[in-house]
Structure 1
Amino acid sequence: LAAKMEFTRIGRLLQALLLFCYVLATSGIDWQPIKVLTLTLMILCGAVLFFFLFLIYAAISFFTLQGLEFMNIFTDGAREFGRYPFSIYGKQVLRILTYVIPMAWFQYYPFLFIIGWLEQPLWAFAPLLCLPFGIPALLFWRFGLSKYVSTGS
């Protein structure tokens, strides 16, 4: 277990927390309770969505012995996508990140609400729309478990 410890991730976490606190204090956003709720939902639903992505990643391993490097597009790639507003990638990519892999529901649309570009209060709950992605992820995991056969060694 300790052989896979990456202490550089602790540095990334500390850097992210410091930057997060700095941006919250200096953003000039009027932090109303609904915006605080939206930010909390963004963090929680984002973590849940990534759990579902890693669950799919794990379920695929039931069916192949090959490396699953293409899944890095969705896990590591999502981190890279999140560095810029999704709208710069074009409408097609925004649609994929909204309806296929619903990252825009917990990142892009709620952020637009927080900064005031979207004014409808319902946008505050947009992060919850990524949660139904868990249904196919869990079904795929269960399907993989049902097909799993041990080597017996």
Structure 2
Amino acid sequence: MNHLRLFLRLVAASLRGQLRYPASALLLTVSQFLATGIEVVAIWALFDRFGSVQGWRIGEVALFYALVHTMFALADALGRGFDVLGTEFLRTGHFDRLLLRPRPLALQLMAHEVRLSRLGRLLQALAVLVFASLAVPIAWTPATVALALFCVAGGVALFLGILVLQGTLAFWTVESLEIANVFTYGGVEAGQYPMAVYARWFRRLLTFVVPLACVAYYPGLAILGRADPLGAPGWLGWISPLAGFAFLALSFMAWRVGVRHYASTGS
């Protein structure tokens, strides 16, 4: 069985396990939808009060919001295994079981628990995307659709890379450090607004350290057909999502160092 087929079977098994309790799965999904919906209400209240923020309208900000939350919803669903690596695998010694299986560790962890509840965040992001398309409006040509899919894929790679780094730190700390949430949930909060509204040092952090601007802001400008107020060239948005894949590759390099450091529980 090839890796992709095995991954899909493991994902299907995880989803079937959650659907054994359909009421619970539904309530968790709805709660995710409503929890992220509060953020939408906050953004709407901001623009309803002030009209625009440094020249940005609510429809444009809605596009950035939809892109970032779509990326994170997919990455969060796939990265659960890395998120709980320390408590569910390293501390208990169950990581040894993964090492004995003739399949990639990353594949096993990504398929460990694909959380169905993240569908609530994804649906809410897609609803905001529809709103953005009508409010701006956005001309969805084959090129812009392809760019949107490309930037979402790069964003999923970026957020998954952050979760991989969080899991890597657990080889030394056992407990997953909460500092990773600064770049996951904090990154989602920052990425749902245009980078142009932030201070220079913060823009540089989200461009060159954690390249969130590369997977959301610059592609979003290209989709909107809007020039960057900061002066970046228009073609940048068409290639910048590659930074997300580069970040994921670097994260897995660090991951391999962590795996070599692992010495089991000794029990």
Which TM-score tier does this pair reach, normalised by the shorter chain? 0.7 to 0.9
SS at match of 1:104: helix
Could you tell me how far apart the structure 2 residues matched to 1:145 and 1:67 are? Answer: 15
1:114 maps to what in 2?
Answer: 223
The 8 Å contact of residues 214 and 237 in structure 2, kept in 1 or not, is answered as no
Where does the alignment leave 5 or more consecutive residues of structure 1 unmatched? none
1:46 maps to what in 2?
Answer: 155
1:33 maps to what in 2?
Answer: 142
Pairs aligned (count): 152
Counterpart amino acid of residue 248 in structure 2: G
Extract structure 1 runs of 4+ deviating beyond 4 A: none
2:240 maps to what in 1?
Answer: 126
- Output one character per residue of 1:116-144: Cα deviation in whole Å (capped at 9) or x when no partner: 22473453222123221123211110000
SS at match of 2:240: helix
TM-score, normalising length: structure 1:
0.86
SS at match of 2:255: helix
| Structure with greater contact order relative to length (CA < 8 Å, sep ≥ 6) | 1
Q: Once structures 1 and 2 are overlaid, which stretch shifts more, 18-27 or 34-43?
A: 18-27
Could you tell me how far apart the structure 1 residues matched to 2:138 and 2:178 are? Answer: 39
Counterpart amino acid of residue 135 in structure 1: A
TM-score, normalising length: structure 2:
0.52
Structure 2 residue 121 is matched with structure 1 residue 12: yes
1:75 maps to what in 2?
Answer: 184
The 8 Å contact of residues 45 and 130 in structure 1, kept in 2 or not, is answered as yes
- Output one character per residue of 1:81-136: Cα deviation in whole Å (capped at 9) or x when no partner: 02211221211111111111111101111111122224734532221232211232
Greater helix share, 1 or 2? 2
How big is the shift at 1:43?
1.1
Alignment RMSD (CA, Å): 2.2
The 8 Å contact of residues 59 and 141 in structure 1, kept in 2 or not, is answered as yes
Change in 2 beyond 3 A, CA 1:98/1:138: same
Q: Kindly, what percent of the aligned residue pairs are identical?
A: 34
- Output one character per residue of 1:51-104: Cα deviation in whole Å (capped at 9) or x when no partner: 111000000000113451111000110111022112212111111111111111
Structure 2 residue 250 is matched with structure 1 residue 136: yes
The 8 Å contact of residues 105 and 126 in structure 1, kept in 2 or not, is answered as yes
The 8 Å contact of residues 41 and 125 in structure 1, kept in 2 or not, is answered as no
SS at match of 2:215: coil
SS at match of 2:181: helix
